[in-house]
Amino acid sequence: MRTIGRIRVSLAVIVMSALPNILTAQPKPPVTEKKPHVTKIHGDTLVDNYFWLREKSNPDVIAHLEAENAYTAAMMTGTEALQQKLYDEMLGHVKQTDVNVPYRLGEYYYYSRTEEGKQYPIYARKKGSLDTAEEITLDLNELAKGLKFLSLGSYRVSDDGNLLAYSTDSTGYRQYTLFIKDLRTGALLPEKIERVDTVMWATDNKTIFYVTEDNVTKRVDSFYRHVLGTPAYDLVFHEPDELYDIGAFRTRDKAFIVVESGSKTTSEARYLPANKPDEGLRVVVPRRNDHRYFLDHRGDRFYIRTNDHAKNYRLVTAPDSAPEMKNWKEIIPARAEVKLDGFDLFKDHMAVVELKGGSQTIRIVDFTTGKSTPIVFPEPVYSVFLDTNPEYETTALRYRYQSLTTPSSVFDYDMEKHASTLQKRFEVPHYDASQLASERIYATASDGTKIPISIVYKKPLVRDGKRPMLLYAYGSYGSPTWPTFNSNRLTLLDRGVIYAIAHIRGGGELGEPWREAGRMMAKRNTFTDFIDAADSLVKEKYTASDRLVIQGGSAGGLLMGAVVNMRPQLFKAVVAQVPFVDVINTMLDASLPLTTSEYLEWGNPNIKKEYDYIKTYSPYDNIAAKQYPAMLVKVSLNDSQVPYWEGTKFVAKLREMKTDTNPLLLKVNMGAGHGGSSGRYDALRENAADQAFILKQMGISE
């Protein structure tokens, strides 16, 4: 009880004393009690004084998080007007009442729309034509009443259009509950299934298949079948290997239900006919270490994207009656400089997505003629993604194009006439693209590797080192960080800030070799690439260290923690969002979500060689008595991917060890998960607060 009293007194002192006296005295940060927790492994003794902060049900922990929030609010006193101005500007760039481009599925056109003043989208459809009456299928604003958080997971309509299977998460913990809605009456069916990851319909419009997570680690491991209105929920498949998660989908031609088991390096697929839901699953190709493959279906054949003898993947086909490898027929060979990143099958065409030179391309293959035609894009630095394409018998391919200066734009590409038609460019009020410029530049890493950097800035740019910069990166899981448009970024660009993305190793921008060069025992390349990119930007006078702010989230938060330990003097300030910074402790705890499946991304610290390597960069374990840049660390109480205590412990240890007086702030979202607030206006408020911190560190006050 003494601890609770001390922390609550500290909170009261911050709230009552520090806020009114901010101009005369700096508020005092919360004092985090030390409770040594000892771990002995591989001859090492690890002492974690702040391990106790993971006790979410402990009132002391909640009081401490609230004290940190109060301290952050006190330290940000004086920026309220700037935060409001930033919020107003961001909101001014949003068309609050808007509608997405409808897509056709069966007899209906489906779309979502937003209304001014409402936090969440409204999902709706129209039958036969866009001129008919609207039918609202799901209004998330109604579902969110009385909730601090709401996220929509699955949204699947039965083939006959009568039933909607949807799932929602009301905490941010990525724990979704599945409901079935009768769209004819608006009533919910009795089914209510917990911990559902995704769902799909059989052809009979009454059988659903779904996958669920376990109750402890949240590993998605079970595939079920259920006939609506019956008491049976049949387990069809369980994945026993803790390195694997499962997913499931229905092929675009609606012929098969496919269940995929996958680790970070290996995959295996099973299938059953969608019109014969009672059949058992058949394996396509049995799993083999380091073999990954992904499939879809057309006609009487599976099309399989495989890394068998193909680091960057190749495409093969096989009869759906005998898909084993001996029957594979190659149709797109492997290429060293081009990654086959995906493909979408239609009745007469195939859209092939490829990565080349750090950019995405789409080309259309005509199955009748065999001809391959690339889609041409207008800018040298851009992002393009295949959009919603649910119909199999179509000649129109929908894709979404954008760049650092071009807002998100939806196109329909005629796969026979080879022409793109703009369906909608999302309106950004009060935006003049002619004032901005973007480019792709390169930094040279310490081993000679060229690191792409995408930048955008307000013209004109004079490279004299006087412009402030926000440098962002991720660099993990082979996940690319593409140069996309974000209207919230305009508030920074308008104030002269250069925004840059470092496409570092560990990401996927340059294919599988790029990913492999930044994972496991090569993970440090991710961090040194980022430092080399920052050094280059300073050397080339795009910015200077005293005005360079860096930002990253989740695994990108790990990046932030690692680089500030390695080169703290290179950066003016850091924003680390839901940062994965306590790598050793987390990876030693197999009961936590994600841990076991991540052994093939970071390494397993139970293995000495891998433990030793992780220890060289784990941010929490490498904090030292030295000067650090100003830092804003953001966590969420209900985060299941990176628990709140990681960033909280990181801040506590930094406060104990660092020798500077730079601001170190912890902001805790007490009602959300990994992605922060779910409501769009709440998210804008969060963004405005982040930007106020960033601009303050850059010396910009308005």
Could you report the per-residue pLDDT of 606-661, keeping only the tens digit for each? 999 999 999 999 999 999 999 999 999 999 999 999 999 999 999 999 999 999 99
Threshold 0.75, pTM exceeds: yes
Cα 636 to Cα 56, 433, 592, 641: the distances in Å are 12, 35, 16, 10
Cα 409 to Cα 382, 420, 444: the distances in Å are 12, 11, 33
Give the model's pLDDT for residue 1: 27
Q: How confident is the model at residue 75 (pLDDT cuts 50, 70, 90)?
A: very high
Give the model's pLDDT for residue 237: 98
Give the model's pLDDT for residue 22: 39
pLDDT at 8 over 60: no
475-523 pLDDT, tens digit per residue, is 999 999 999 999 999 999 999 999 999 999 999 999 999 999 999 999 9
Domain shared by 412 and 507, yes or no: no
Give a yes or no: residue 498 inside a domain: yes
pLDDT at 6 over 50: no
Give a yes or no: residue 604 inside a domain: yes
CA 169 remoteness from chain centre: 17
Domain shared by 417 and 447, yes or no: no
What residues make up the domain containing 591?
438-698
Q: How confident is the model at residue 21 (pLDDT cuts 50, 70, 90)?
A: very low
Give the model's pLDDT for residue 23: 44
Give the model's pLDDT for residue 25: 73
Domain shared by 513 and 656, yes or no: yes
Provide the 3-class DSSP secondary structure of residue 185. coil
Identify the CATH number of the domain in which residue 546 sits.
3.40.50.1820
Torsion from C-alpha of 96, 100, 101, 102, nearest 10 degrees = -130
Neighbours of 81 (CB within 10 A): 11
**Given the residues 154, 222, 554, 640, the one annotated as active site:** 554
Strand 498-502 and strand 469-472: the pairing is parallel
Give a yes or no: residue 649 inside a domain: yes
Neighbours of 589 (CB within 10 A): 14
Give a yes or no: residue 183 inside a domain: no
Domain shared by 403 and 544, yes or no: no
Last residue of a domain, one of 406, 427, 448: 427
pLDDT at 9 over 80: no
Q: How confident is the model at residue 162 (pLDDT cuts 50, 70, 90)?
A: very high
**Given the residues 158, 639, 640, 678, the one annotated as active site:** 639
Mean pLDDT for the stretch of residues 11-21: 37
Give the model's pLDDT for residue 322: 97
Which residue is associated with the tokens 């409402």?
118
Residue 655 CA to residue 646 CA, distance in Å, equals 14
Q: 229: buried, middle or exposed (CB in 10 Å: 19+, 13-18, 0-12)?
A: exposed
CA-wise closest residue to 18 among 78, 70, 60, 82: 70
**Given the residues 226, 297, 503, 674, the one annotated as active site:** 674
Give the model's pLDDT for residue 3: 30
Cα 642 to Cα 555, 577, 646: the distances in Å are 9, 10, 7
Strand 548-553 and strand 573-577: the pairing is parallel
CA 387 remoteness from chain centre: 17
Task: Find the DSSP H helices in 137-181.
Answer: 140-143
What is the widest separation between alpha-carbon atoms in the chain? 79
Query: End-to-end distance of the chain based on CA atoms, in angstroms?
Result: 45
What ranges make up the beta strands (E) of 49-100? 98-99
Top pLDDT among 543 and 1 is at: 543
Catalytic residue flag (residue 639): yes
Mean pLDDT for the stretch of residues 382-387: 98
Mean pLDDT for the stretch of residues 406-428: 98
Mean pLDDT for the stretch of residues 377-401: 97
Q: How confident is the model at residue 666 (pLDDT cuts 50, 70, 90)?
A: very high
Residue type, 515: R
Mean pLDDT for the stretch of residues 381-409: 98
Domain shared by 356 and 448, yes or no: no
Domain shared by 446 and 518, yes or no: yes
Top pLDDT among 11 and 331 is at: 331
Give the model's pLDDT for residue 77: 96
Residue 400 CA to residue 336 CA, distance in Å, equals 27
What would the two tokens of residue 597 be? 């499946």
Give the model's pLDDT for residue 26: 84
Give a yes or no: residue 89 inside a domain: no
Q: Please check whether residue 153 is in contact with residue 176, taking contact to mean a CB–CB distance below 8 angstroms.
A: yes
Give the model's pLDDT for residue 257: 98
Q: Is 449 left (phi over 0), alpha (psi -120 to 50) or beta?
A: beta
Domain shared by 422 and 472, yes or no: no
Mean pLDDT for the stretch of residues 541-560: 98
Q: Please check whether residue 644 is in contact with residue 635, taking contact to mean a CB–CB distance below 8 angstroms.
A: yes
Q: How confident is the model at residue 290 (pLDDT cuts 50, 70, 90)?
A: very high
Q: 153: buried, middle or exposed (CB in 10 Å: 19+, 13-18, 0-12)?
A: middle
What would the two tokens of residue 343 be? 């493909």
What would the two tokens of residue 383 be? 């992002």
pLDDT at 18 over 90: no
Residue 7 CA to residue 4 CA, distance in Å, equals 5
Beta bridge partner(s), residue 693:
none
Mean pLDDT for the stretch of residues 571-576: 98
181-207 pLDDT, tens digit per residue, is 999 999 999 999 999 999 999 999 999
Angle ∠(426,428,434) on CA atoms, nearest 5: 110
Domain shared by 474 and 521, yes or no: yes
438-465 pLDDT, tens digit per residue, is 999 999 999 999 999 999 999 999 999 9
Mean pLDDT for the stretch of residues 330-344: 97
The 10 Å CB-count burial string (b at 16+, else e) for 595-609 is bbbbbbbbbbbeeee
Domain shared by 654 and 616, yes or no: yes
Give a yes or no: residue 17 inside a domain: no
Last residue of a domain, one of 427, 454, 481: 427
Q: Please check whether residue 430 is in contact with residue 92, taking contact to mean a CB–CB distance below 8 angstroms.
A: yes
As a whole-number percent, the residues of the chain with pLDDT over 90 amount to 96
Last residue of a domain, one of 375, 400, 427: 427
Give a yes or no: residue 653 inside a domain: yes
Torsion from C-alpha of 501, 504, 508, 512, nearest 10 degrees = 160
Report the domain count for the chain: 2
Residue type, 637: L
Give the model's pLDDT for residue 16: 35
Domain shared by 452 and 569, yes or no: yes
- Average model confidence (pLDDT) for the chain? 95
Catalytic residue flag (residue 297): no
pLDDT at 63 over 70: yes
pLDDT at 80 over 50: yes
Domain shared by 478 and 510, yes or no: yes
Give a yes or no: residue 168 inside a domain: no
How many CA atoms, within 13 angstroms, populate the side-chain half-sphere of residue 311?
13
Top pLDDT among 52 and 14 is at: 52
Residue 176 CA to residue 82 CA, distance in Å, equals 37
Domain shared by 494 and 570, yes or no: yes
Q: Please check whether residue 668 is in contact with residue 201, taking contact to mean a CB–CB distance below 8 angstroms.
A: no
Catalytic residue flag (residue 278): no
